[in-house]
Amino acid sequence: MRQFFVSALDVLEVAFVALGLVFIIRTFLVQPFLVQGASMSPNFSDGDYLLVDELSYYIREPKRGEVIVFRFNQGAGEQASNVYYIKRVIGLPGERVEIRDGKIFVYSGGSSDALVLAEDYLPRGRETLVRPGGQTRFTMGEGEYLALGDNRSYSYDSRDWGVVHRDWIVGTARFRLWPPKGLQVFAAPSYQ
């Protein structure tokens, strides 16, 4: 009988440690995310199951080109804080961004020279257009980011509702787990 209790305590101890590790990993390091909709097509599809890295943004700020998951805080109450979006970071704090002629122009540090983003992750010929009533010029303040969907024609994004605040950002998409044929690790593209 004593052996049974010792074994039961060992099992409970292992279970407790395992649950503690799962809690720490899930809360501070990695969070699962299910893509819903086509706003990030063709790079992310409806039903893709991703792992979101929550740790990196405790150490550093988001980079241009990274795909972020954030909690959209427009509106009031519980419903607003539970709506998650996945978009790509285009504009960084302190920058000015203009959308014209189907392209994105980024001005940094008060410079009059613009970086025209070469967005190789978009399908050839896909332009960044603005719907009637949408914004074409953005100036990011401290802790503000411009975030756009890759499916520019059908994405509800910063062109419609403005900048994303740093405290809304949950993390960056790091790994696609599902579907199996789409297994992939993600990194921010280089804009040369």
Query: What is the set of active-site residues?
Result: 39, 87
Q: C-alpha distances in angstroms, 177 versus 21, 32, 60, 157, 183? A: 21, 9, 25, 25, 5
Q: How many CA atoms lie within 13 A of 3 on its CB side?
A: 0
CA separation, residue 174 to residues 7, 93, 179 (Å): 39, 22, 15
Tokens of 146: 């411009």
Whether 173 and 58 have beta carbons less than 8 Å apart is answered as no
Handedness of CA 92, 119, 52, 155 (dihedral sign): positive
β-bridge mates for residue 68, sequence order: 87, 172
